[in-house]
Amino acid sequence: LCERAAQERPLRVEYAKSSRSVCKACDGSISQDSIRIGKETAAERFDGYELCWYHLQCCNKKGSGPTIKVAGHLKGWELLRWDDQMKIQEYLGETIDNNEEEKLKEKQNRELWDLKDKIKDAKVSSKTLAEVLEANGLEVKKLQLDRVLHTVAGGLLYGKMGACPVCNSKGTMQAYGTKFKCKGWLSEWIPCDFEATGDGIKRYKWIIPSSVKSNLRVIRIFKESSKGDDEDGKEQVRRVT
């Protein structure tokens, strides 16, 4: 079923949440926290899609897994660590630039993951993260936990951006060096391609709700990382350089 030629949705990439998934190309297990590539195809037995997982090294091989055309087009690409992004690009034989733009992307990625690791190490609950997102006007029910964590960390470090002017999605604008790109979707199959450039962009103060402020262990991490007053919700302009 997974190899059935049918209308396909975009390939996705993520870290395996457990060691229970099996690669559909080699039948080998996919270790927890390792990179896995997901392929959705139309199901034969029900109205919907089936998701199959593959090792990265089983992709782009004749008669094996799916073909990854461009690493950066993988759904969930921006949620990966910098070193893993480089690993995928190297596997695909893509050119990796070492210019100032790429250095800034790397810096931002490592900053985000440093904070995300601190939040995870502190065992901040998914309920607490959801409360923080809701306090900042962002929908939680449509987001997976890895996206929730990424959005909270980005808000604490860089402030909150409004909805994308093209797809109207909230919490999907991401900083990539001196550019800002929307990682939302116009439909189930079409990604939003809105980009903004410049040396500054309007952001909003990241709000920490009162329910979270009572947790001293959590608020210590949030306070150390937050880049502005978390009370008034006023606009600010934060430089990206």
Task: Round to whole Å and give the CA distance between 30 and 122.
Answer: 27
Residues forming a β-bridge with 22: 29
pLDDT band at 6 (very low <50, low <70, confident <90, very high): very low
Say what the pLDDT of residue 239 is.
33
Q: Does pTM top 0.85 for this prediction?
A: no
Residue 134 to residue 209: CA distance in whole angstroms: 9
pLDDT in tens, 65-77: 899 999 988 989 9
Cα separation, 108 vs 175, in Å, equals 8
* Residues 140 and 159: beta-carbon distance below 8 Å: no
Pairing relationship of beta strands 195-197 and 179-182 according to DSSP bridges:
antiparallel
> For residue 203, what are the β-bridge partners?
236
| Phi/psi at 222 (5° precision) | -65, -40
pLDDT in tens, 12-42: 999 999 999 999 999 999 999 999 999 987 7
Evaluate whether 131 touches 212 at the Cβ level (below 8 Å). Answer: yes
Question: Given pLDDT bands bounded at 50, 70 and 90, which one contains residue 218?
Answer: confident
Residue 49 pLDDT: 81
For 92-118, how does the pLDDT look when each residue is reduced to its tens digit (9 = 90+)?
A: 999 988 888 889 889 989 999 999 999
CA atoms within 13 A on the CB side of 179: 12
Cβ within 8 Å of residue 5, ≥6 positions away: none
Q: Which H/E stretch holds residue 138?
A: none
pLDDT at 136: 85
**pLDDT confidence of residue 79:** 92
Task: Determine the 3-state secondary structure of 168 from DSSP.
Answer: coil
